[in-house]
Amino acid sequence: MKFLRNLLAAILGTLIAMGILFFMFLIFISLANVEEGVVIKRNSVLELEFEDPINDYTGSNEADPFAGLFEESVGLDDILHAIEVAKNDDKIEGISIKSQFVMAGWSQVKAIRDALRDFRESGKFVYTYADLLMQKDYFLASVADSVFLNPVGNLDFRGLSAEILFFKELQEKTGVKMEVVRHGKYKSAVEPFLQNEMSDENRTQIKELLESLWGSMLEDMSADRNLSIEDLNAIADSLGGRTPELAKRAGLIDETLYWDQYEAKLKQAMGKSDDQGINYVELSDYLKEARKKSIYKGSDRIAVIYAQGEILYGEGGPNYIGQGLINRALIRAREDDRVKAVVLRVNSPGGSALTSDLIWREVVLTKKEKPVVVSMGDVAASGGYYIAAGADKILAEPTTITGSIGVFGTIPNISELAGDIGINAEQVETNSNATEYSLFEPMTPEFRSVITESIEATYQTFLTRVSEGRNISMERADSLAQGRVWSGAEALRIGLVDELGGLEDAIEEAANLAEISSYSIRRYPRYKSNFEMLMEDLSGTKTRVKEDVLKGELGSEAYNLYKEVKRATQQRGVQARMPFSITIK
């Protein structure tokens, strides 16, 4: 007995000692970060190298001593702010883009691109160097004054393509079926679970979407590279930029250089001699300094509320939208007398129809008190459009994917698999409908009828929100719906959005509606600090580790398939989301 008591005491003491060491380590790191500081020297070059995924908003807080220790992404809002600060910073001579495999959406890349063009037009230089330029990387790089590529590097320029996965045969082989209930005219909805090939209607809408996105990108690249759209299409069709020499000959790049030769070009642009060094400032360091400088100043405020990720019922967080965080942010902005207008930044493929409606309601209530303007990011479709429909004005990027106005339900059913492996489920009921649904039994006509009724009612509610929000008839709303996806440029033409523009344009429009000329920006929602998340939810770290292991073992393609199947089987309730997951590359 004494041995066990001593053993437990030793184990407890060891755990306490390890905990103390762990906290001392965190405190040491945080103090080291505070003491280190960032010194921006004169004649510096801001180096943009996007090594982490880019989200619209991370909620970074410099007051958090552990900020940056556990973050896995960088905020688009921080990047755009840093570029704007650098434009007016006398210590920054220019920007060097050293980036490949940028992990961002097309509209996010366009937003960075537009900010770099504005920076360049201030008289400072923007140069780009890369060993490899994938298509999204080149779209960003083409805004630079000069684009340089490694002589033995590679450039990908071939036009856009989309890939959609179909699961009908997988369901038949495994006996795990997704029961689908949809609005009757919602033709492209959940096609992947109903057939093995893309329908002609779906192929047509995706092709038109890609052509619209590609056309917007071509306009930007044509203007900055001084190449006609016809020439750019010809280069893409013939793969005329597949080697560095071909890319140079076609005009996609300016020169082929090694890194030391590129640095000589930078020195030349800065008026430095060959024996002088270059003061590089990394983006991560400059972000810390830029956050201390406010571009918007004034006693009045505009609240910018970020809604990013899938829409799920619940609290919400940095990677998914829940009614908890978003609605509290809307209420707080509405009740704050200093806030004169609200900008809702939406980047979402949709999700729970119930949550979408709960957020829509708070948007409408807020609009009664002060102007609400929506800024659409990469995707603002289905539920993402639902929560936007109640605003005074909607702005989208030309490359935004929006629309997809429709609802559906998918319910997993394993009755065939259960039969194959010898499982039989029996039910005992007090009433005829007490057993709502069983995974182990085929869906009954009565249950399908009830679900269909709910789907139809939700669809009509969605149409009503769009009709009232866009001031159009129900018939017109229905003609624009049916689950059809549109680019931002197409959405402007048909009246689903009011203007083309980015977040800064939306903020300016909100200020105009509020009739204010000077104002500061307040960003919402406020996420838990990194330290709070680490202490409260260590299981999140385990989840990330598990996902990293799965991705490493399965490979990216198989891992993406795993995620698609997992996402489909975890859906609950009526869904207002993109009817398929589309990968554009």
> In this model, does residue 190 exceed pLDDT 90?
no
481 in a domain, yes or no? yes
- Tell me the CATH number at 343: 3.90.226.10
Lowest mean per-residue pLDDT among 167-176, 252-261, 346-355, 522-531: 522-531
Indicate the pLDDT class of residue 444, thresholds 50, 70 and 90.
Answer: confident
Termini Cα distance of the chain = 66
Position 542 scores a pLDDT of 45
Token duo for residue 197: 């090939």
- Based on the domain organization, do 169 and 154 belong to the same domain? no
Q: What is the pLDDT of residue 114?
A: 97
In a domain, 387, yes or no: yes
For position 182, what pLDDT does the model report? 78
* Residue range of the domain that includes 96: 44-158+239-290
Domain boundary among 290, 310, 328: 290
Domain identity same for 167 and 49: no
Residue 316 CB partners (closer than 8 Å, separation 6+): 322, 323, 324, 325, 326, 525
Whole-model pTM: value is 0.85
Q: Is residue 72 part of a domain?
A: yes
Q: What is the pLDDT of residue 375?
A: 98
Tell me what the mean pLDDT of segment 304-329 comes to. Answer: 95
Confidence label for 411 from pLDDT (cuts 50, 70 and 90):
confident
Helix (H) or strand (E) holding 383: helix 383-388
Cβ 134 vs Cβ 406: under 8 Å = no
Looking at the structure, do residues 249 and 333 belong to the same domain, yes or no? no
Local confidence band at 249 (pLDDT 50, 70, 90 cut-offs): very high
Are 147 and 283 found together in one domain? yes
The answer as to whether 443 is a domain residue is no
In-domain check, residue 375: yes
pLDDT at 544: 46
Local confidence band at 529 (pLDDT 50, 70, 90 cut-offs): low
Please indicate, yes or no, whether residues 175 and 141 belong to a single structural domain of this protein.
Answer: no
Let me know whether 268 and 146 are in one domain: yes
Q: Are residues 356 and 315 in the same domain?
A: yes
Same-domain status, 401 and 513: yes
Catalytic residue flag (residue 382): yes
Tell me, yes or no, whether 183 and 309 share the same domain: no
The residue type found at 46 is: L
- By percentage, how much of the chain surpasses pLDDT 70? 81
Domain identity same for 393 and 485: yes
Sorting pLDDT into bands at 50, 70 and 90, what band is 545?
very low
Domain assignment of residue 426, yes or no: no
Residues 345 and 468 placed together within one structural domain of the fold: yes
In a domain, 207, yes or no: no
Count Cβ atoms within 10 A of the Cβ of residue 229 and give its class: 0-12 exposed, 13-18 middle, 19 or more buried.
Answer: middle
C-alpha dihedral over 136, 141, 147, 153, to 10 degrees? -30
Catalytic residue among 177, 187, 248, 265: 187
When divided into structural domains, the chain yields a total of: 3
Give yes or no: residues 69 and 186 share one domain.
no
Q: Which of 107-116, 443-452, 513-522 has the lowest mean pLDDT?
A: 443-452
Domain final residue, candidates 171, 194, 217: 194
Structure tokens at 416: 């065939």
Name the one residue in this structure whose structure tokens are 């103390």: 20
pLDDT of 201 reads 85
Residue (of 520, 516, 517, 466) closest to 495 by Cα position? 466
Q: Would 85 be classed as within a structural domain?
A: yes
Q: Is the dihedral of CA 48, 52, 55, 61 positive or negative?
A: negative
Specify the DSSP class assigned to residue 431: S
356 tagged catalytic: no
Q: pLDDT higher for 388 or 163?
A: 388
Distance from C-alpha of 400 to C-alpha of 504, rounded to nearest angstrom: 15
350 CB neighbour count, 10 Å cutoff: 28
**Which is catalytic among the residues 44, 382, 404, 529?**
382
**How far apart, in Å, are the Cα atoms of 78 and each of 16, 56, 115?**
39, 9, 12
